[in-house]
Amino acid sequence: MNNFFIYLVAINLIAFIFMYEDKRRAKRKQWRIPEATLLGISTIGGSLGAYIGMYSFRHKTKHLKFTLGIPIIFIIQLFIIMKYIKTPLL
């Protein structure tokens, strides 16, 4: 369980940093991080970090696949984690 927690913290930090970096590159009109990469990191556990990054940096907040997709991914991940640790949601 400890390794799993470390993984979640690390992947969410990476997702947050990727959102920051993509926003920075967008402002400088540089090569961008592909949306598939940002969504992929969210899918493998970084949805909370991506969500916080989206709204911290006001990045991708007008894209429906991010404003709906990342919260949906987070909810699915939350259910999976709750089932994995065998804790009832309510």
Q: Is the pLDDT of residue 89 over 70?
A: no
* Residue 22 domain flag: yes
Does residue 34 fall inside a structural domain?
yes
Asked, for residue 89, whether it belongs to a domain, the answer is no
- Expressed as residue numbers, the domain containing 25 is 2-84
- What's the token pair of residue 32? 């961008």
Q: Does residue 59 fall inside a structural domain?
A: yes
- pTM confidence score: 0.87
Bigger pLDDT: 7 vs 84: 7
State how many domains the chain has. 1
Q: What is the pLDDT of residue 4?
A: 86
Query: What confidence tens digit (pLDDT) does each residue in 54-85 have?
Result: 999 999 989 999 999 999 999 999 998 888 77
Cα dist from 2 to 7, 14, 49, whole Å: 9, 18, 19
Decide: 67 and 61 in contact? Cβ < 8 Å: yes
Give the residue carrying structure tokens 């404003």: 67
- 54 within 8 A of 61, measured Cβ to Cβ: yes
